[in-house]
Structure 1
């Protein structure tokens, strides 16, 4: 895993386009508009939040991740966070190339992101997904996340869609 570079944009756009098609095949409305697109990726890169999973010198996966308050997670409904505050890492737009689908790389990618931010001091991690995205829910839960409630994603102007929000807390040995 490494931070995405400008030369990765075409591969990332292709990954997101195939992910959109895969979600559509599943009958989900997630990512069926303009979002996410090349502008989204460029914004992620400008904010140093873009990460890629590399396999044999190919971009195999993409995710946006950052530490600090995430406006998406400030209005949690139907639940509560295990730990309140703004000191957490958020994982978004996790997508794997269809060339690598079925190789169980998404859980490893999420583990790599958690490990990276853990090394930076993060102990609280948040992620969300569409209520119908069963494969991603399985990946999230298998990475130790617990469902905490519902948030609303603004994918397009005037289009707000519910997402299940998850949280993972990792305690330091000295805190346990």
Structure 2
């Protein structure tokens, strides 16, 4: 795993696009309204919040990792966060290349992200996903996250419910 660079943009966009198609095939509306897009990814890279998993010199996965308070997690319903800490790590736009799907690399990528930020004294991690995105839920819970409630995200013109998870190490 390494921090994403500007020359990774097209590879990351291809991963996001294949993830969008995968979600569509699963019958999910997640990522079907133009988010995330190339501008979103470019902003991640400009803010140095993009991380990639590299396998055999090929970008195999992508995630945006935001340290500090994230507006998406400001309001939680049907539950609560384990603490009121505003200095946490939020993970978004987690996706794997379809060329590497089924190899359990998503679990390893998530573990690498958690380990990297743990080494930087970060102990509180938050993530969300679609209630029917079972593959992502398996990656999330397989890394020790617990469901805390629901958050709402704006995707296109819709305001969608997402299950919110937290891990405090």
Query: What TM-score, normalized to structure 2?
Result: 0.98
What per-residue deviation string (whole Å, max 9, x for no partner) do you get for residues 10-37 of structure 1?
1111001110000000000000011111
Tell me how far apart the structure 2 counterparts of residues 24 and 153 of structure 1 sit (CA, whole Å): 18
Shift in Å, 1:121:
1.0
User: After superposition, where does 1:26-175 map in structure 2 within 5 Å?
Assistant: 26-156=26-156, 158-170=157-169
Could you say what secondary structure the match of 2:78 adopts?
coil
SS at match of 2:84: coil
Return the TM-score normalized by structure 1.
Answer: 0.95
TM-superposed CA distance for 1:62, in Å, is 0.3
Q: Once superposed, what is the RMSD of the aligned Cα atoms?
A: 0.6
- Per the TM alignment, residue 75 of structure 1 is displaced from its structure 2 partner at its CA by 0.6
Secondary structure of residue in 1 paired with 2:107: helix
Secondary structure, counterpart of 2:160 in structure 1: strand
Matched pairs, number: 169
Q: Which runs of 5+ in 2 are unaligned?
A: none
Counterpart CA distance in 2 for 1:53 and 1:139 is 15
Unaligned stretches of 5+ in structure 1? 171-176
